[in-house]
Structure 1
Amino acid sequence: MATSNPYQAYQQNNVNTASPGQLTLMLYEGCIKFIKLGKLAIQQNDIQAKNTNLLKAQKIVQELMVTLDKKYPVSENLLVMYDYLNNRLIEANIKNDIGILDEVEGYVVEFRDTWKQVIQLSRQQSHGQGGKA
């Protein structure tokens, strides 16, 4: 079935052709976006939008937990952090607490920035010694 919205088709194509590393980066970006929208909804007293966006952020964190590659030693620490973030998102949703959302957003931004560096280093290494041809 053809998509009538070109932007939606473009986004779907990006997801379908992204590497696992790029997909993880997209998840972090989406989580940050939904946290920001959740904070805005709290400020505007839009309870439905707040709940919808924070549930989307939770789903992303849960996806990060499920897809975590357990063969790496750091995975156990990440799993604990993701679980913590998920619980804090639930708490922020219940309490309408922007401070908690700021905390969670800070962690997710750190994860995203670190992940960007990992992708960049991986690309450099795959192109030869630190990017040298």
Structure 2
Amino acid sequence: MFARNSAATYAKVGIETNVSSADPHQLILMLFDGALLSVNSAAAAIEGKDNPAKIRHITKAIEIITMGLKASLDSSGGELTDRLSALYDYMGVRLALANAQSNVAPLIEVSGLLRDLREAWAQISDATRDEKMTQEA
């Protein structure tokens, strides 16, 4: 029990350290990673017939997507912002359906969407970092 609590505390400190030192692009990547972890954990909980864990992980994924990713959208982003906002809403609906039906299929769909968005965001982050390094040189 003590070792488990110590490991959890250590992991939490590590996450907090990463958050405090991350730039905005890295923070968004961390949100994508957290949402993906929660969706994948929910799928494992459904397969293991662990209803409390399923609910916990799906709720966390919805919170990350709506209160993290969606809330971080730039309101002056125009059509792209509108489309991403609608996509995040769609993901929330699909996650709620997965929860209500204990169905893994919507989780697989949302996981694929999140992976695609994360990959695109990582490419933007890399390009921005490269551009900044070029300007500083």
What is the TM-score of this pair, normalised by structure 1? 0.90
- The total of aligned residue pairs comes to 127
| 1:29 alignment counterpart | 33
Instruction: Report the alpha carbon displacement of residue 19 of structure 1 after superposing the two structures with TM.
Output: 1.1
Where in structure 1 are there 5+ consecutive unaligned residues? none
Counterpart CA distance in 1 for 2:102 and 2:111 is 15
Aligned equivalent of 2:14, options 7, 10, 28: 10
RMSD: 1.3
**1:24 Cα deviation after fit:** 0.6
| Structure 2 counterparts to residues 66-77 of structure 1, below 5 A | 66-73=71-78, 74-77=80-83
Q: Does 1:58 align with 2:58?
A: no
Q: Percent identity?
A: 31
Judging by fraction of residues, say which structure has more helix: 2
Structure 2: distance between partners of 1:67 and 1:37: 24
Q: Which runs of 5+ in 2 are unaligned?
A: 1-5
Q: Which has the higher contact order (CA 8 A, sep 6+)?
A: 2
Letter in 1 for 2:74: D
How far residue 7 of structure 1 moved from its aligned partner, in angstroms, is 3.1
TM-score scaled by length of structure 2: 0.88
Runs of 4+ displaced beyond 4 Å: none
Aligned equivalents of 1:6 and 1:55: distance in 2? 24
Counterpart-to-counterpart distance in 1, 2:75 and 2:45:
36
Per-residue CA deviation, residues 61-114 of structure 1 (Å, 9 max, x unaligned), is 112112211112211110010000011111111011101110000000001111
Please, which of 105, 113, 117 is the counterpart of residue 107 of structure 1? Answer: 113
- Structure 1 position 10, deviation (Å): 2.0
Separation of aligned partners in 2, 1:28 and 1:8: 17
